[in-house]
């Protein structure tokens, strides 16, 4: 379920709680003290978590851009070096990137290692041409940059926040929202503020989750960046069928490929369909 839908559901739930939860069931003096302390701790810890997850998120985004540029440069240089070899390489890269879409970015480097090894082994067989000695070295550098990027993605392919840290954060968020509802006086303004702040706390938790899983703004750096590789190697853009069906991505191209599981979970092979939009 998307972050927007979860947020809208939380707004509806918090609005409904206004008619269920009794007013002022927490003494004002005690409630104000607890609310102040909890709000302070929640703000500090949530802010720290955002900084930590954002740092890794930005690192992953930059590394993915570097890797994508490496794939594009590799293919372009191999086209100049050996056009026939480049045609076979394009098919391997296409299969590798399509396979990458079967996993989330956080699992991308580890889960696609076998497919990458196939490309790496193929590139080792690149014949040496003394007339393109410099270009041969550039091609090796392209492969080196891709390997380095994948090693960095492997290191970053873990969640920043542990289960214990999430428990603390959720406990503080719950205490904060509980205190808000416990101090309600029944005034319309206070009720509106309670719903807005409670929903915002949930939105903040969802933001931290998306950053921790590298899925925030995924259209730009999880889909578009790989689609550029397809276009560069002369292949149609590709999307997993389930990503399109649940609204994670909306293809903008007039012609693109869709991959559907033929017999999941018995087989992870996908049947490729070409879609032409009007």
Give how many domains the chain has, as a whole number. 2
**Is residue 175 domain-shared with residue 240, that is, in the same domain?**
no
**Is residue 251 domain-shared with residue 124, that is, in the same domain?**
no
SS3 per-residue string spanning 37-87? HHHHHHHHHHHHHHHHHHHHHHHHHHHHHHHHHHHHHHHHHHHHHCHHHHH
**Is residue 146 domain-shared with residue 274, that is, in the same domain?**
no
**Is residue 97 domain-shared with residue 7, that is, in the same domain?**
yes
pLDDT digits (tens, 9 = 90+) for 28-46: 888 889 989 999 999 999 9
pLDDT of residue 1: 65
**Is residue 170 domain-shared with residue 278, that is, in the same domain?**
no
Task: Tell me the HSE value of 123 on the side-chain side, using a 13 A CA sphere.
Answer: 26
**Is residue 131 domain-shared with residue 267, that is, in the same domain?**
no
pLDDT of residue 38: 93
**Is residue 220 domain-shared with residue 241, that is, in the same domain?**
no
- Residue 25: is its pLDDT beyond 90? no
Q: How does strand 270-276 pair with strand 238-240?
A: unpaired
**Is residue 121 domain-shared with residue 164, that is, in the same domain?**
yes
**Is residue 120 domain-shared with residue 13, that is, in the same domain?**
yes
Query: Is the Cβ–Cβ distance between 169 and 45 less than 8 Å?
Result: yes
What CA–CA distances, in Å, run from 93 to 26, 117, 226? 62, 11, 11
pLDDT of residue 39: 92
Q: What domain range is 134 assigned to?
A: 1-235
**Is residue 16 domain-shared with residue 45, that is, in the same domain?**
yes
pLDDT digits (tens, 9 = 90+) for 167-195: 999 999 999 999 999 888 888 899 999 99
**Is residue 262 domain-shared with residue 231, that is, in the same domain?**
no
- Residue 265: is its pLDDT beyond 80? no
pLDDT of residue 278: 66
- Which element (helix H / strand E) includes 96? helix 83-100
CA angle 165, 179, 12 (to 5 degrees): 85
pLDDT digits (tens, 9 = 90+) for 200-233: 999 999 999 999 988 887 777 778 888 899 999 9
pLDDT digits (tens, 9 = 90+) for 58-102: 999 999 999 999 999 999 999 999 999 999 999 999 999 999 988
**Is residue 167 domain-shared with residue 270, that is, in the same domain?**
no
Task: Tell me the HSE value of 217 on the side-chain side, using a 13 A CA sphere.
Answer: 9
């Amino acid at each position: 379920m998307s972050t927007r839908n979860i947020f809208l559901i939380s707004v509806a739930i918090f609005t409904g709680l206004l008619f269920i939860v009794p007013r002022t069931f927490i003494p004002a003096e005690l409630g104000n003290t607890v609310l102040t302390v909890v709000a302070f701790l929640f703000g500090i810890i949530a802010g720290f978590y955002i900084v930590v997850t954002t740092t890794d998120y930005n690192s992953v985004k930059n590394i993915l851009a570097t890797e994508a540029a490496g794939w594009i440069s590799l293919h372009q240089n191999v086209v100049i070096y050996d056009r026939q070899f480049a045609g076979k390489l394009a098919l391997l890269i296409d299969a590798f990137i399509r396979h990458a879409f079967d996993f989330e970015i956080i699992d991308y480097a580890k889960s696609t290692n076998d497919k990458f090894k196939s490309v790496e082994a193929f590139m080792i067989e690149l014949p040496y041409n003394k007339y393109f000695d410099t270009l041969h070295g550039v091609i090796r550098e392209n492969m080196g940059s891709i390997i380095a990027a994948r090693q960095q993605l492997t290191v970053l392919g873990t969640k920043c926040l542990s289960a214990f840290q999430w428990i603390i954060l959720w406990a503080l968020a719950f205490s904060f929202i509980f205190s808000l509802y416990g101090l309600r006086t029944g005034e319309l303004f206070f009720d509106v503020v309670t719903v807005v702040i409670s929903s915002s706390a949930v939105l903040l938790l969802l933001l931290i989750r998306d950053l921790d899983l590298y899925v925030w703004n995924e259209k730009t750096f999880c889909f578009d960046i790989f689609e550029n590789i397809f276009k560069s190697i002369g292949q149609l853009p590709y999307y997993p069928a389930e990503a399109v069906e649940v609204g994670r991505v909306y293809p903008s191209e007039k012609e693109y490929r869709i991959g559907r599981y033929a017999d999941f979970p018995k087989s992870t092979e996908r049947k490729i369909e070409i879609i032409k939009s009007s």
